Each structure stands twice: as C-alpha cells, then as structure tokens.
Amino acid sequence: MKKGGRGIFKEKDMVVLENCKKLLSKKSKTDTYFLDLHFCLEALIKRLLFIGLRLNGVQYKDAQNFLARYDPMGLKKSLNKAWELIGISLQELECYPNYQVLYKLVFEFTSQYRNARVHDKKNKYDNKDLLELLITIDKRFIDEIRKILKEKKNADIFDKPKQFGAVTVRERRDPEEILQKVFNKQGRLTTESKYSIEEARTMVTNLQ
C-alpha cells in the first residue's frame, strides 16, 4: 500500500472504490485528510484512464495490470487523455467553466501543496483555513468530473466500464500503443503554486 493513501489502494495499486466513496463522504480539515483526498483524486484519474482503455479495446486484465505498474507523474496529461479515450473532447469541456477553474487550481495550486508536503518533507499543515481551501478544491473537482460524466455518458466514475459501453474483448490490444504519447515523458514535479492563497480562495468563491 502506498504511503499517504491508507486504504485507497490495495494489491497492484488498483482503486478500492468503496474506500474512495467513504473518504469523499467525510468532512475533515486535517492534514492527513487532505493528503488522502488528493491521493484519491489521483487514483480516480487513473480509474478514468482504465475505463478509457476498456472502451478502446484493451482487455480488463491488461488494462488493470498496465495501470497498476504505472505511477503517473503527468496527471494533467493523463486526465486529458482519459477524457479523449472515453469520447469527451477538450473542446466540449470548455462548456464547463467551473471545471476549467478547478482544473487550474488542482494542477497549479493544490498539487503543489501536496508535493511540497510529501516530497519536500514539509511539516504538517495546521492552518485550518488553508486546509479547508485545499480540500474544497479537490472535492469540488471530483464532483465536477462526476457531473460531466453523468451529463455526457450517463455514468459515474465509480461505475463499471460496461456502464460506459465497454464490451468483452477477445483480441488483445496493447495499452502502451494507445497511451504511449501520455506515458513516454514524465511530468515535472513542482512544489511552488501558481496562485496565492487569496487568489485561489477568490477563484473558488466566484465559481458558478
């Protein structure tokens, strides 16, 4: 089990969906909860990629094994590719202004706080206002992803791939062939956020 994601991943790093659901239903402003929540967000992006692979002819076990051994660094690129694989274009996503704002805040604000905490070994965050902001952004981003999936695919990220239209595949298709443009370059890990706390708070306040 990975550090910082207690109960979210198990054998082969696949998502334990029920544990993610329980985590999302909790209300907390702790440092530990923020780290677990952000880890859950990363896991759900991986889940979306899994669904996308299944929709593109990759067998269940092949998709599962491939993503289990892949530790995504370029989460932004991975998420964009996942949308494409499930049949939702980035152009379509432009019609969701809340998604666009939260996308920026997750990849240019909360991710940096998480990276600084985990990779720079910074002390626990104890500022409740900051923690509330970080947690709100990550939770609302997950909610927005689920809203889009419901509207566009009448499905949820917690549903089985068949709910999205995946079928049993007899001929094997290599997942690397589909995803190599996502995985051939690792993203650069950053610990400095683009936005100040006040700027981020204002952006959240102005969400529609």
Mean pLDDT of the chain: 84
Domain ranges of the chain: 11-205
Q: What is the pLDDT of residues 27-64, one digit of tens each?
A: 999 999 999 999 999 889 989 989 998 898 888 888 88
Residue 15's DSSP bridge partners are 9
Q: What is the pLDDT of residue 174?
A: 74
pLDDT value at 143 more than 90: yes
Query: Which two tokens mark 204?
Result: 């959240």
Q: What is the pLDDT of residue 122?
A: 74
pLDDT value at 6 more than 60: no
Buried b (16+ CB within 10 A) or exposed e, 53-88: bbbbbbbeebbbebbeebebebbebbbbbbbebbeb
Q: What is the pLDDT of residue 30?
A: 94
Q: What is the pLDDT of residue 153?
A: 94
